[in-house]
Amino acid sequence: MNYRKTNNKPDTVFEVENDRFFAGGYPYNPGAKDRCEVLAYLLDKGIDAFIDLTEEDELVHYEKFLPAGVTGAKRVQYIRFEIEDYSVCDKETMRKIIAKINGFLESGLKVYLHSRGGVGRTGLVIGCWLKSRGCTFDDAIKIMAEMFKETAASAYTTLPDNKIQIDFIKNYS
């Protein structure tokens, strides 16, 4: 599938680390005029690894729109770690998610981490990822607030957006 080039950053996407790790909301919207607009932006940015935190039957799947190694296209990695909306996973699953993020980054891939809205579950994982890299809880919350302020959702919520997720980050080690 060919995507149109776009320089317009969607207001659901934010940068986590140095033009190589991005996060945000679900990158495909079948009800929108341009259903692949966010996906096109991410592929234009060179994203070649998608980590999906939504549940299997939560939204319409977008994997079929990712380049699959056809002539002239690079293969894009996709993996799902299901976390129930407004909830948390167990610590072992979180360790696996963080290991996958780090593995992709260490192998030179650009990562896009997302949930449905790019707030709760996405913030949960980013907070734990920051703590795994040596940040204190307070520093992780400050860093996330700074990166999240470039999104439309920052006008009405925080990253993550509920107490159970914030407590999980606080206690994650």
Residue range 104-155, pLDDT digits in tens: 999 999 999 999 999 999 999 999 999 999 999 999 999 999 999 989 999 9
CA 150 to chain centre: 15
How high is the pLDDT of residue 69? 52
How high is the pLDDT of residue 46? 93
pTM over 0.85: yes
| Bond preceding residue 30 cis, omega within 30 of 0 | no
Alpha carbon distance 144, 15 (integer Å): 10
* Percent of the chain that is helix, strand, coil (3-state, to 5): 40, 15, 50
Each domain of the chain, given as residue ranges in start order, spans 13-171
Q: Which residues contact 9 (CB under 8 A, 6 or more apart)?
A: 41
How high is the pLDDT of residue 2? 41
Q: Is the pLDDT assigned to residue 5 strictly greater than 80?
A: no
Q: Is the pLDDT assigned to residue 3 strictly greater than 70?
A: no
Fold assignment, 13-171: Protein-Tyrosine Phosphatase; Chain A (3.90.190)
Edge-to-edge strands of the sheet including 49-52?
13-17, 21-24, 111-114, 49-52, 77-80
| CB neighbourhood size of 78 (10 A) | 16
